[in-house]
Amino acid sequence: MGPIEFAAKYYYRGVPKLIYRPQTWTKMSNIIFVDSPVGTGFSYATTQEGFKSSDTKAVQQLLIFLKEWLQEHPRFSQNPLYIAGDSYGGMIVPTLTLAIDETGEEPLFNLKGYIAGNPLTDRQFDDDGKIPFYHGMGFISDELYEKAKDSCGGKYSTPSNVLCAQSVQAIHDKASYAVLKMWANDETVRGSLGVHKGTIGRWKRCNLSIEYTRDLRSTVEYHSKLIRKGYRAIIYSGDHDGGMTIVGTQAWIKVLNLSIADDWRPWYVAGEVAGFTRSYANNNLTYATVKGAGHTAPEYKPKECFEMFARWMSGIPL
């Protein structure tokens, strides 16, 4: 979604080359990309204690960052603000959005809504949606699916008996970022990015070694509060994402119990079906699937996601 990408197709050796990405979301908006929590990307702490984080702590730190950034750049204070993220960001985005809404302190934000792509939202819905999704995609046999469904009663996230646990495990048993690593670990690149020398060791796409507490179990209630407060939101899913499946995402959206404004229909890009969409609550919440996309959708379908974002930001139905 950013303005540049790697020319990975032509990479041979040395520092990977960057090329312009025409489908960049920065054509419609100013975007601040933040490495969060501390210890991910090029973000760092000066003490070991500073690397300890959690969902709620990450939200607090992001709120502090946004306040301090706006104080240093007051000319942006009236710009419409949307909080966005994907994947595990599904736990952070609605939580941070509500925290901004409730802060009541200077500087005040012109908060308008939020964007969540392929979002982790609630482990029960997300996990329970995986097995029906795997079956629907043909990843597991009818026999294995029926065995799991009968023994688990549709509840796969917390198996209630041995047979259920065995069936779920059997399903999970069945069921490239090399260029990026080379680029981010080059000292010349780091210097150009302003990364302080000695603060970061080897760059990792997913740093699983940081001390992090997942203290948010669900953000469904955060979505409910924000939509009822009148904020705009778009939730989108790659329809081939086996981690945060369209089945699980649609299940928790249904629990919000919102009125349907524009019912399930295809949306198009250049005359081709790009996915399916449904809008709720006077069009405040839009849900969209992205056809043929995995985790995350913009990586697989940049053109379609660009069109989706452009229309939504302009208030045009998908």
Based on the residue annotation, tell me whether 295 is a catalytic residue of this protein: yes
Peptide bond into 188 cis (omega under 30): no
Tell me the backbone φ, ψ of residue 290, rounded to 5 degrees. Answer: -115, 115
Torsion, Cα 216 221 226 228, to 10 degrees, reads: 180
Q: Is 151 an active-site residue?
A: no
Query: Which of the residues 36, 237, 241, 279 is marked catalytic?
Result: 241
d(Cα 3, Cα 47) in Å, to the nearest integer? 34
Number of Cβ atoms within 10 Å of the Cβ of 41: 18
Nearest CA to 305 among 296, 43, 314? 296
- Examine the residue annotation and report whether 160 is marked as an active-site residue of this protein: no
CA atoms within 13 A on the CB side of 13: 0
Measure Cα distances from 128 to 77, 285, 298 in Å. 42, 23, 25
* Distance of alpha carbon 133 from alpha carbon 242, whole angstroms: 7
Among residues 29, 54, 77, 87, the one annotated as catalytic is 87
**Other C-beta atoms lying within 10 Å of the C-beta of residue 240:** 18
Q: Could you give the residue numbers annotated as active site?
A: 87, 241, 295
